Amino acid sequence: MTNVLLVHSSLFGDKSESLAVARAYVSGLPDARVTERALSPSTVPHLEASTFAAMRTPAAELDAAQKSQLALSDTLVAEVEAADTIVLAVPMYNFSIPSTLKAWIDHVARAGRTFRYTEKGPEGLLTGRKVVIFASRGGVYSSESPAAAFDFQEPYLRAVLGFLGLGDVTVVPVEGLAMGPDAAASARAKAMAEAGRLAAAAAERKVA
């Protein structure tokens, strides 16, 4: 059994381009038990000062109110800790990630729980998990594109996930979606093919 955490953050819900490809990938994974987390301002609110203060309080010193404030963060962290594979369906908004995904990251990044500071510097504690990101974009931002310098989606995610110990990251771009029907269809087909290839490779590794 493979535990998969699917996190998606598009404004368009089930009509999301990134989510469609992510679900196609997840459906091809062998023997997968999937936990799906849909992000919105109501399900994962932005971090508040009181919650941040509770995160910085030693567990033995937390009062009842602080424990209640940390309940959502505890749940989100537990979902990540339980996962073997984390799948992120991420649209690009204004060259970066949705604010709801940033809020999720803020709740998951917990000093002493998902990372820690040592004499040698910060150390991520979520090692041993694979991350697959399906990154949808209206334009083309891959490395050979003139617009590559405007991509603050993939570099940020790689940096913050790596900080948490999640260094095994594969990014599948779904780009050019706003560049006309033909370009969008080509982008979807290419991303779906890559999702299928990755799922098949995961199946082969499991059999081996």
| Residue ranges per structural domain of the chain | 2-207
Q: What is the chain's alpha carbon radius of gyration, rounded to the nearest angstrom?
A: 18
The reported pLDDT for the residue numbered 208 is 57
Q: Which fold has domain 2-207?
A: Rossmann fold (3.40.50)
Closest CA relative to residue 16, chosen from 125, 130, 118, 92: 92
Q: What is the 3-state secondary structure (H, E, C) of 111-170?
A: ECCCEEEECCEEEECCCCCEEEEEEEECCCCCCCCHHHHHCCCHHHHHHHHHHCCCCEEE
Distance CA 67, CA 51 (A): 9
The reported pLDDT for the residue numbered 31 is 87
Distance CA 75, CA 131 (A): 19
Compute CA distances 21 → 73, 141, 176, whole Å: 27, 18, 15
The reported pLDDT for the residue numbered 207 is 62
The reported pLDDT for the residue numbered 142 is 85
Other Cβ atoms less than 10 A from the Cβ of 47: the count is 16
With beta carbons less than 8 A apart as the criterion, state whether 57 and 113 touch: no
Mean pLDDT for back-to-back runs of 10 residues, the chain (208 residues): 94 94 95 95 94 92 94 97 97 97 97 94 96 97 88 97 97 95 96 95 76
The DSSP element (H or E) to which 35 belongs, if any, is strand 32-38
Provide the β-strand partners of residue 124: 115
